[in-house]
Amino acid sequence: MYALLNQFKIPFFFLYILVSFYIEANESQDSLKIGFGSCLDQDNPQEIWQPLKKENLHAFVFMGDNVYGDSDSGELIQMQIAYTKQKQRLPRWLKNLNPLAIWDDHDYGLDDGGGDYILKKDSQKLFLDFWKVKEEDPRRSQEGIYFSENKNLKDKKILILGLDTRYFRSPLVGEKRNYIATTDTSTTILGEEQWEWLESEFQTETNLIILVSSIQILATNHGFEKWSNFPHEKERLLSLIKESKKPVILVSGDRHKGAIYKQDNLYELTTSSLNKPLPGWLETVWKETDPLILGTMHYNMNYGVIRIESSGVISVELKGKEGEILQKASLKI
C-alpha cells in the first residue's frame, strides 16, 4: 500500500481527508434517490436528461430498449452502431453514476425476441461491455444479464434485483400486438436457473427489494408483452413476493407509456419512454386503461424516481419531461 501511494505521490494526510469525507458524506445521507427510465433512442433528442440532472440522483437504472439496435435478421451490426452513438449522447453526470441496466427486445437484438434468438451470447457481450460490467461480475460468466445490487441508507438495506426477461423466455402465443395467455405451464419467462437465483436473493436480509423487469408484471389489459401472457410465471413471482413478507416495489418499462399500478399492497411503477413517445393521435383512438392503474396512463416522455428516506418513508413518482409529477404513491417500511 505504501509503495502504491509513494508511486503516485499521494500524501497520506490528503488521502485520510478524502476517505473521512467520503465516509461522513455517506453516513449523513438521510435519503436515497434512484432514477429509472427506458426506451432511449440514440437518434432522437435527449432533453429528458435536463430535469433528471436536477434530481441529484444517487443511482440510475435503465430498464431496457436502452438503445434501438435490433434488426429483422437479428444481426448485431446495427446494435454496435447504436451503442457507439449512445455512448456519445449519455451525459457525463449520468455516466459518473455508473448506471445499472437490464435489456429489453430492442437492445437484445430481435423485436419481441426470446430464448430462441441465436446471437444472444454475442449480444450479451456487447451489452456488458457497453455498461462497463466488470470482468469479475457474475454476468460475465452466467447466461443472461440478471443482477443484484445492494444499496445502504444508514441502517436500511435496499436490494435492487434486475431481471432478464429475454434470454430464457419461451415463444409467445398469439399475434404481435395481440398476444394471449399461454396455458402451457412448461413455458417460462425467467428460466429455471434465473428462478433459483431470484429465490435465493429473496432470502437476503433486506429492508426493501426493488424488482426491475423490462416487461410489465401487474398489467392485465393489453395485447403486448407482459407477465400476464405467462400466468403460471406471474403467479410464481407474486407468490414469491408474498411469501417473503418483505416490502417489494416493482418497476418496469417497455410500453412507451407510463403509469403506477397497484394490486393489494404491491406497487408497480411503469416508466417509458425517455425520448420515444408514441404518436399523439394514438391516445385519441385507444385510451389504455387497466383496473389496477392509479389515475391514468401518460403517453408523453417520462421517467421514474424512488426516494427512500432513512425514516422508512418511500415515495414512488412518475415524472414528465419538465420534471413535473404525473403520478405519485407513498409507502412506509
Residues contributing to the site for Fe ion (CB under 5 A): 39, 65
Look up residue 22 and give its DSSP letter.
Answer: H
CB of 112 to Fe ion, least distance (A): 11
Q: Decide the pairing of beta strands 325-332 and 266-270.
A: unpaired
Kindly list the distances between the CA atom of residue 132 and the CA atoms of 80, 96, 103, in Å, as whole numbers in the listed order. 15, 12, 14
Q: Which residue is nearest to Fe ion (CB)?
A: 65
CB of 254 to Fe ion, least distance (A): 6
Q: Which is nearer to Fe ion, 256 or 307 (CB)?
A: 256
Q: CA–CA separation, 187 vs 321, rounded Å?
A: 38
Strands (E), the chain: 31-37, 59-62, 100-101, 147-153, 156-162, 173-175, 178-180, 208-213, 248-252, 258-263, 266-270, 293-298, 302-309, 313-320, 325-332
Q: Which is nearer to Fe ion, 108 or 197 (CB)?
A: 108
Q: Which is nearer to Fe ion, 103 or 230 (CB)?
A: 103
Q: Which is nearer to Fe ion, 154 or 276 (CB)?
A: 276
Distance between terminal CA atoms of the chain?
42
Here the cell at position 280 is: 399523439
Q: Which is nearer to Fe ion, 140 or 176 (CB)?
A: 176
CB of 235 to Fe ion, least distance (A): 26
CA atoms within 13 A on the CB side of 91: 13
CB of 277 to Fe ion, least distance (A): 11
Here the cell at position 251 is: 418497476
Here the cell at position 192 is: 429455471
Q: Which is nearer to Fe ion, 65 or 201 (CB)?
A: 65
CB of 51 to Fe ion, least distance (A): 20
Contacts of 267 by beta carbon, 8 Å cutoff, 6+ apart: 249, 250, 260, 261, 316, 329, 331
Please provide the DSSP assignment of 190-251 as one string.
S-HHHHHHHHHHTTS--SEEEEEESSBSS--S-SSSBGGGSHHHHHHHHHHHHHHT--EEEE
Residue 151's CB is within 10 A of a number of other CB atoms, namely 17
CB of 211 to Fe ion, least distance (A): 20
CB of 308 to Fe ion, least distance (A): 27
CB of 271 to Fe ion, least distance (A): 12
Q: Which is nearer to Fe ion, 70 or 268 (CB)?
A: 70
Q: Which is nearer to Fe ion, 39 or 101 (CB)?
A: 39
